[in-house]
Amino acid sequence: MRRRTFIRSVASLTASGAVTWAETVRASEAFAGRADRELHGDVAILGGSLGGCAAALAALRQGLRVVMTEETDWIGGQLTSQAVPPDEHRWIETHGANASYRELRTRIRDYYRAHYPLIESARAKPELNPGNGSVSRLCHEPRVALAVLQDWFAPWLSSGQLVLLLEHRVTGADVDGDAVRAITVRSLRGAGDRVLTAAYFLDATELGDCLPVTGTEFVTGAEARSETGELHAAEVADPNNQQAFTMCFAIDHVPGEDHRINRPAEYDFWRSYVPNLTPPWPGRLLDFTYTHPSSGEARTLGFDPTGMRPGGIINLWTYRRLIDAGQFHPGSYAGDIILVNWPQNDYLLGNLVGVSDEEREGHIARATELSLSLMYWLQTEAPRADGGEGFPSLRLRGDLLGSSTGVAKYPYVRESRRIRAMFTVLEEHVGREQRAEVTGKTGEELRAASFADSVGVGSYPIDLHPTTAGDNYIDFPTLPFEVPLGALLPRRVTNLIAACKNLGVTHVTGGCYRLHPVEWGIGEAAGCLAAHAIREKKTPHQIRATAGLLTDFQDDLVRQGVEIRWP
């Protein structure tokens, strides 16, 4: 009875807002007697990213005891604390992603049907898209994804099979030769350090934080073309040549009201800032003209929240719209709600990895200033279709992101540290142009490389945003691809598994392996691998290297709804 009562408190009270998720997690730790400085699980998952959540669900459903940490107070990574609705391929509703990922999407839609005042025609749509955003078939609010994940984890959190440490950051490790014995995490709430021990450690942090502390060999930034042979690789390797990150924010439009924010301290700088990129950026960053990613030409984006035709190649108002007010009962919303994750708030002046903690926090602060400056520019100077300037009726909605700054809790990360893996995915394996050169095939016969050790699938163009070293967009087609098991395994360390964007890809191929359904699949494969290795008493490297063991593991994945091949 006590367990069922606690589950109700997690699933219903957090959904209604009666208690915060952080309060629920702290209560569950006390309930389970988890005040120890040292915690042990079968698996320790560092990072509550999308990959971390998928890994945890996979391990938990197979009976493993899991300790999972998260740097913020929201699990879910790019879908929640980073605020970005899913970037997906065109077949996502039927195939090309794991059953659990499609269940996540179904749960999000069902949450809206159960809790939101949808009009009946919207409620009846099997493929409900709450925001009707053009970038995704499922544009939704970050808080809804958070509520869904919280409810999903509730039974395991209640039973004590899962211990979740929110607001904890990786700070150190105890390593014995090629094996990790323990990882230390520090409470950002001032509660001190905890030492986590486990048979397997899964790095699901957004930046690959476990790699430097464990001494696991890794790569950052751009590799040289002479090393990878990739058509779109840089001429010279540069570990500091990394893609821009973005501090996303949400806004709505309240006609007739003035919601102008205070002029940001750095507004004059950002108002006049021109990115120093090759090929050249067409002008100031705070402008609707930008470099079109695939053509490289200057193009103008449209923006108008008032309903007028904005012109331009994309209507930014509907691009990442989270709430289409027309799908809800009249009066439910003052207007549509959108997410601003645009070229205009990509931050190019510094990196998140390869810098000191102080430098990283400084870059996040300046990126926040950039986003707030973009907001102020939209409110005061952005050109309108009627010839005027500014939309003072735009309102900053930091409340929807759980943030006091007005922007997302965490940067939207496009590039992480990457393990030096047993196998590294190159452009020749997935890029359409180079794949055609390598195989001599075209049309229907042209396929991405098929990996004997595939543990997942994905599809997305290689979409490299401008970099801190001055590269402009690199954007080109790929073929529907597979995720090789070898890319999840470090060359040397035996019990650390990549479970996020830190797998064995390059600066180039990371551009298509970083998106929501692929990251979820990477995490799920990592969680299943840890469970299989423990059950079979074999190491992940042994499983990959032995044909029979590999086949058994892949069969196990398929039974659990993991797609490892494209039709």
What pLDDT, on a 0 to 100 scale, did the predictor assign at position 311?
75
Give CA separation, 520 vs 99, 102, 105, 200, 525, in Å: 11, 10, 12, 19, 9
Is residue 11's pLDDT more than 90? no
What pLDDT, on a 0 to 100 scale, did the predictor assign at position 103?
98
Report the pLDDT averaged over residues 86-114.
97
Structure tokens at 453: 């050790």
Residues 300-323 have pLDDT tens digits of 999 999 876 677 888 999 999 999
What pLDDT, on a 0 to 100 scale, did the predictor assign at position 24?
61
Lowest mean pLDDT among 120-134, 293-307, 331-345, 546-560: 293-307
| DSSP E strands, 369-451 | 394-396, 418-419
35 — pLDDT class (breaks 50, 70, 90): low
The mean of the pLDDT values for the chain is 94
Percentage of the chain exceeding pLDDT 90: 91
What is the CATH superfamily name and number for domain 2-128+142-213? FAD/NAD(P)-binding domain (3.50.50.60)
What pLDDT, on a 0 to 100 scale, did the predictor assign at position 254?
96
Is residue 516's pLDDT more than 60? yes
Is residue 20's pLDDT more than 90? no
What pLDDT, on a 0 to 100 scale, did the predictor assign at position 4?
31
Give CA separation, 169 vs 30, 53, 69, 71, in Å: 20, 16, 8, 5
Angle (nearest 5°) at CA 73 between 68 and 76: 65
CB 456 within 8 A of CB 522: yes
CB 408 within 8 A of CB 249: yes
CB 304 within 8 A of CB 317: yes
Report the pLDDT averaged over residues 87-105.
97
What pLDDT, on a 0 to 100 scale, did the predictor assign at position 385?
86
- In angstroms, the CA 140 to CA 97 distance is 19
Find, among 322, 397, 339, the residue nearest to 130 by Cα: 322
- In angstroms, the CA 2 to CA 433 distance is 59
Is residue 207's pLDDT more than 60? yes
Is residue 418's pLDDT more than 60? yes
Is residue 28's pLDDT more than 90? no
Report the pLDDT averaged over residues 494-506.
98
- In angstroms, the CA 163 to CA 28 distance is 8
Residues 531-548 have pLDDT tens digits of 999 999 999 999 999 999
Is residue 178's pLDDT more than 70? yes
Structure tokens at 104: 């996540």
23 — pLDDT class (breaks 50, 70, 90): low
Is residue 241's pLDDT more than 60? yes
16 — pLDDT class (breaks 50, 70, 90): very low
Is residue 1's pLDDT more than 50? no
Cite the DSSP H helix spans in 18-132. Answer: 21-31, 50-61, 99-115, 120-123
3-state SS, residue 82: coil
Find, among 186, 228, 199, the residue nearest to 427 by Cα: 228
3-state SS, residue 127: coil
Is residue 498's pLDDT more than 50? yes
- In angstroms, the CA 84 to CA 522 distance is 19
Q: Tell me if the pTM is above 0.85.
A: yes
- In angstroms, the CA 492 to CA 557 distance is 25
What pLDDT, on a 0 to 100 scale, did the predictor assign at position 12?
40
Residues 322-341 have pLDDT tens digits of 999 999 999 999 999 999 99
Domain residue spans in the chain?
A: 2-128+142-213, 219-239+414-559, 245-401
Is residue 3's pLDDT more than 70? no
Is residue 176's pLDDT more than 80? yes
* Burial group, residue 50, by CB count within 10 angstroms (0-12, 13-18, 19+): buried
- In angstroms, the CA 443 to CA 130 distance is 36
- In angstroms, the CA 560 to CA 342 distance is 37
* Burial group, residue 1, by CB count within 10 angstroms (0-12, 13-18, 19+): exposed
